[in-house]
Amino acid sequence: MSPPTQEALERASQALAGGKLVAFPTETVYGLGGDAGNDQAVADIFAAKGRPSFNPLIVHLPDVEAVERYAVMDERAHQMADLYWPGPLTLVLPRRADAALSLLVSAGLDTVAVRVPRHPTARALLQASGRPIAAPSANRSGHVSPTAPIHVREEFPDGGGRRLALILADGRCPVGVESTVLDLSGEHPVLLRPGSITPEEIEAVLGPIQRAATPGTGIKAPGMLESHYAPGLPVRLNALNAAKDEALLGFGPDRFVLGGAERLNLSPTGDLNEAAANLFAMLRKLDKPGLSGIAVMAIPEVGLGLAINDRLRRAAAPRP
């Protein structure tokens, strides 16, 4: 684990060039990055995470010009890029036939998920390495996503089977939930995964959008498995109280909610931005031996609450 000094960025770049993996912060969560053009490096991402091979990866790139080397951007894609790149937006676009990317990145599809991150360390790494970086969240598949460097170390105590060469540690991720994923590969825009860029904001630019089908079917982007982002303990949603042996994850004023052996509050003031930033870190803190589960108070299904509830429903879904 190292702060993102120039020397550390050089070491990280050399590791990526050598086919190793590097964990790094984005504005959303920490990513587990590998050279998106290297088949073995991409395969090692899947292996380190224990990730199903049919779940595609997001390719991180420094700018629109770089994106256009790998994907076909239409007017809609340019509109969204102008507004939200760099930032927490992933676009699923038609993959160029000559794209120098591992086919594993797209999990056999003719599309590719691309993003231009805003976090300065992610941007510095992309510039220093000079290569596209495939990077899902830096956790074991299905586990709670990491929003701090210590989370990455906890997920990969053995360095991901010695595949993980370095963790670039640069504090806590400011957004705290994964990027919004918007599919623009077809005639109609489809929201595949909600995030901090809301459906209302997208529709203000593109007009009406469709929502993805049932989670777990027709997987075209990361985060679409039905059971995902899950702590070890069972998660119970829309809780009005908590049992004595449950943890309580509150939202807003929770002084009237009874019970809970452990209690944390995503945002005592009901601020959805604060709740999103705290979500994964607090789920991790409450995921303790000796407890029977995590009871979660209701979150409003508006704005950023859509993304928070999406992650919570997947955390609470039956385990495969």
Cβ-Cβ contacts under 8 Å for 86 (sequence gap 6 or more): 116, 117, 118, 123
pLDDT, position 214:
47
pLDDT, position 181:
95
> Is residue 158 within 8 Å of 53, Cβ to Cβ?
no
pLDDT, position 311:
82
Nearest to 312 by CA among 271, 266, 269, 270: 266
pLDDT, position 14:
97
- Please give the Cα distance from 126 to 33 (Å, whole number): 10
Taken in order of first residue, the domains within the chain and their CATH numbers are: 6-211 (3.90.870.10), 235-316 (3.40.50.11030)
pLDDT, position 216:
46
pLDDT, position 320:
64
Binding region for ATP: 51, 55, 111, 137, 145, 193, 229
Binding region: 28, 51, 55, 60, 111, 115, 135, 137, 145, 179, 193, 229
Binding region for L-threonine: 28, 60, 115, 135, 179
Q: What residues in the chain have per-residue pLDDT under 50? A: 214-217
Q: Structure pTM?
A: 0.81
pLDDT, position 304:
78
pLDDT, position 217:
45
Q: What angle do CA 131, 132, 133 make, to 5 degrees?
A: 110
